[in-house]
Amino acid sequence: MKAEILDGKNLALKIKEELKREVQDLKNQGINPCLAVVLVGENKSSQKYVSFKEKTCKELDIKSLVFRLPENTEETSLIKLIDELNENSQVNGILIQLPLPKHLNQNKVLERISPFKDVDGFTPFCLGRLLIDSPLFIPCTPKGVIRILDEYKINLEGKQAVVIGRSIIVGKPLSLLLLKRNATVTMCHSKTMNLQDITKKADILCVAIGREKFITSNMIKKGAVVIDIGINVTASGKVVGDVNFDDVKEKASYITPVPGGVGPMTIAMLMENTIHAAKLQQRVAI
């Protein structure tokens, strides 16, 4: 067997084209979607992600404001900026690029964002709404994963879905979304014992751990759908996932590549959430 590639890059392009048209429609109604991104410190990956977000906003004609703050920014200044952005009616979405420098309390900072501008979906309010099956903003990466599965008409109902990784950014919300689609979900993490026994039972295996090529073909079931969320930079500077793609693709039925899988979908979903925020705030029918 050779797995079919789940082409997130192409799907993201298609979605962005649709969103571009939607932005123009909103502009014709006098609504100008605007995303504010806050980056604290010098983290190289974060700088790269923020530039991607800025570039994609430009492509879609969404206004973007980027606040680049020094590493030693005090929590009170960051909170003050968030308060100002919450109050600013021109700003529809607010995103704090993670991870924050260690001296800042991430939960406290995220909690300060108005839930109606929380395009990343990480505030307790938005995560709570997800938990009660009434989402306001769905975190972008898990949302992108479900969108890929839908695009390829992969049925989740009654399937064994295994998610490795339990962050609020990826693993936990993704588990909730899979559960909502009636998959039987198992969550694994660094303390999980006999991981391979669990992954080998997965019809759908989603991996978000940040460990280069960690999943190999002996860890998966024949015909499994493998979603690789990991982004790791090798010693030689190459970007690879958490799954050993070349090995696993021979045994899986579907697989996301890295790059070109979940990554581009995450940004497309961020744009979608920003447009959703603009509509919410302008009370446009959604």
Q: Which residues are annotated as a binding site for NADP(+)?
A: 165-167, 231
Q: Which is nearer to ligand NDP, 169 or 204 (CB)?
A: 169
| Interatomic CA distance for residues 277 and 34, integer angstroms | 9
Q: Going along the chain, which residue ranges are E strands?
A: 4-5, 34-40, 63-69, 93-96, 160-164, 184-188, 204-207, 225-228, 232-233, 239-240, 254-255
Q: Which is nearer to ligand NDP, 23 or 164 (CB)?
A: 164
Tell me which of 7, 117, 118, 120 is the catalytic residue: 120
Q: Which is nearer to ligand NDP, 178 or 208 (CB)?
A: 208
Q: How far is the CB of 127 from ligand NDP (least distance, A)?
A: 14
Q: Is 53 a catalytic residue?
A: yes
Q: How far is the CB of 254 from ligand NDP (least distance, A)?
A: 17
Q: Is 90 a catalytic residue?
A: no
Q: How far is the CB of 132 from ligand NDP (least distance, A)?
A: 23
| Interatomic CA distance for residues 204 and 283, integer angstroms | 37
* Closest among 184, 189, 194, 182 to 207, alpha carbons compared: 189
Q: How far is the CB of 230 from ligand NDP (least distance, A)?
A: 4
Q: Is 120 a catalytic residue?
A: yes
Q: Where along the sequence are the contacts to ligand NDP (CB under 6 A)?
A: 141, 164-167, 169-171, 188-192, 195, 208-211, 229-232, 262-263, 266
Q: How far is the CB of 49 from ligand NDP (least distance, A)?
A: 8
- Residue 152: helix, strand or coil by DSSP? coil
Do 75 and 104 touch, CB atoms closer than 8 A?
A: yes
| Interatomic CA distance for residues 232 and 236, integer angstroms | 11
| Interatomic CA distance for residues 252 and 168, integer angstroms | 27
Q: Which is nearer to ligand NDP, 20 or 211 (CB)?
A: 211
Do 121 and 273 touch, CB atoms closer than 8 A?
A: yes
- What's the number of CA atoms in the CB half-sphere (13 Å) around residue 189? 9
Q: Tokens for 181, please give them.
A: 């689609």
Tell me which of 53, 117, 143, 172 is the catalytic residue: 53
Our CA angle for 209, 267, 22, nearest 5°, is: 150
Q: Which is nearer to ligand NDP, 165 or 279 (CB)?
A: 165
* Closest among 1, 2, 4 to 148, alpha carbons compared: 4
Q: Would you please indicate which residues are annotated as catalytic (active-site) residues?
A: 53, 97, 120
